[in-house]
Amino acid sequence: MHHAVIQYTCLLAIILFSVMLAKKIKVAYPIVLVLIGLPLGFVPFLQGVEIEPDLIFVIFLPPLLYEAAWNTSWKELWKWRRLIASFAFPVVILTSCVVAFVSAALIPGFTLATGFLLGGIVSPPDAVSASSILKTIKVPKRMVSIVEGESLLNDASSLVVFRFALAAVLTGTFKFSDAAFDFVLVIAMGIAVGVAVAMVFYSIHRWLPTSTEMDVVLTFISPYAMYMLAEEFHFSGVLAVVSGGLLLSARKHQFLSHSSRLQSVNVWQSVAFVLNGMVFMLIGLELPVVIRNLGPEGMPDAIKYAAIITGVLLVARLICTFGATIVTRIMSHIITVADPNPGFKPSILLGWTGMRGVVSLAAALSIPVALDSGAGFPNRDMILFITFAVIIVTLVLQGLTLPALVRWVNMPDPDVTISHEQQRQLIQKKMSALVLDVIDKDYAYQAQQNGMIAALKLRYTTDMELLKDWEQDDNDRREAEFYQDYCQIMVNLFTKQRDLLHQINKGDDIDEEIIKHQMDLIDLEEEKFRQQCVIGENK
């Protein structure tokens, strides 16, 4: 136990420095984590850092899926629902079929059931990998929304394929009609369980006397409750977490206080960061183990089969994305679609964002070592090697070349009519104008008699002055320079205020808790100010 604690502590330190390196060289951190994890797998001290296959789904998937669903825009998900649904279900099933037939035809000892097992593992692109890579480059907003939405939902369909294929390998029987009915049932009931559990937690948050700390803890319990309850009845735990997370995220302003929202975001970001780091590092650490299990004699064939399956996946996704473009154009004459003429640039970019990651790793490691009869699971090491190779190749190859592809395609963002800075200004102006309008209409007398209300009105009047649109004000660049000075002075004043609080804290007259509270208020004020001043800072 003591040795394991030291191992995981060292692993966390390595993850932190790896992410720092990724930021320094401007490469998405999953790529760096996987590449650093590969040689570390041969370090004796770190050997044995692994998770039991039966626990891999329960430990990692619920919180990671919940965090991704919580941060997904429901508006964007609904806008691109048809395209996302087509990639999340038909494309995943089609890809699984292609991989199943190719692997069964090429790899000795592979049956169709084993092929579908491999197809269910490697067919879904990973939300974490794609999101972290897309954040480092400038791509149209619709691309990010489609990729993230697809990655959330395709995990469910791929794991259902994986589950049926695993059952077929274990039992030796498979009936298509039963599997098709069960497929629909597993998905529909998984969503129903997720929504039901989400409503229970919604009621707890809203109607019971919870505190901020309790709210944060409840957000950690909810994904595990959704996942384990759905899986207990053999429904889709993935879709339960995704549907429940989307529902609670859309209503969080109704049942979470402002302090609960702020703290839960900070806590969840840290937890998701650690879990993602662990998973991608685990990919690199586990590959040497798989290589040793295959042995030197099995490596040449394993590399060849892994290269073929990876190539099949890359080609199949590109074909599907171009096919989706053609289908969209045809359907635009029949129904209303989000974009009747998407062109082929989105197909190229979307086709090259099929990075595999967390779900594929979890599914592969969850394959049992032995059958119910006691015999070893057929071709388990080959499946693991191909899965790891697919993850590493797609992460490194597609992740590193995607920025160059984006520059080469040079696709404008068709959904942005004004810049994000101007959008932010517009919202802030509307909110400030609303406050001033309410004060003038409902509290005019108080604004004249009450100095604090008058000061509040002056504050929002000043905000309106600060929120000038410098991008459109080409005739007065001096005003923009004044704004820059204002931002720098305010940041300096925040620093001076903190220094003063530290000085006050050295005495015994003021309670330190009061000092800490004032520090927190300054931090919140500076964060708000920096969000407003981002326009000036980007100039």
- CB of 395 closer than 8 Å to CB of 34: yes
**Which are the contacts of 257, defined by CB distance < 8 A and separation ≥ 6?**
212, 215
Calculate the CA 534 to chain-centre distance. 24
Does position 473 have pLDDT exceeding 60, yes or no? no
- What's domain 2-409's architecture? Up-down Bundle (1.20)
| pTM for the full predicted model | 0.79
**Which are the contacts of 79, defined by CB distance < 8 A and separation ≥ 6?**
145, 338
CA distance 471 to 489: 22
DSSP state letter for 454:
H
**Which are the contacts of 501, defined by CB distance < 8 A and separation ≥ 6?**
515, 518, 519, 522
Does position 86 have pLDDT exceeding 50, yes or no? yes
Longest dimension (CA), the chain: 89
Please give the span between the terminal C-alpha atoms of the chain, in angstroms, as a whole number.
53
Element (H, E) at 252: helix 252-255
The residue behind tokens 């080959």 is 382
CA distance 34 to 279: 9
pLDDT tens for 270-290 read: 888 888 888 778 777 777 777
CA distance 21 to 14: 10
List, in sequence order, every residue forming a beta bridge with 370; answer none if it has no partner: 376
For 67-78, what is the HEC assignment? HHHHCCCHHHHH
pLDDT tens for 397-441 read: 888 888 888 888 887 777 666 666 676 677 778 888 888 889 888
Provide the pLDDT confidence category of residue 315 given band limits of 50, 70 and 90.
very high
Dihedrals phi, psi of 370, to nearest 5 degrees: -135, 160
pLDDT tens for 230-266 read: 989 988 888 899 999 999 988 888 888 878 887 888 8
Provide the pLDDT confidence category of residue 537 given band limits of 50, 70 and 90.
very low
Domain with CATH 1.20.1530.20 in the chain: 2-409
CA distance 83 to 474: 41
DSSP state letter for 367:
S
Give the CA dihedral 235, 237, 238, 241, nearest 10 degrees. 130
Mean pLDDT of the chain, nearest integer? 82
Provide the pLDDT confidence category of residue 53 given band limits of 50, 70 and 90.
low
The residue behind tokens 């039966």 is 54
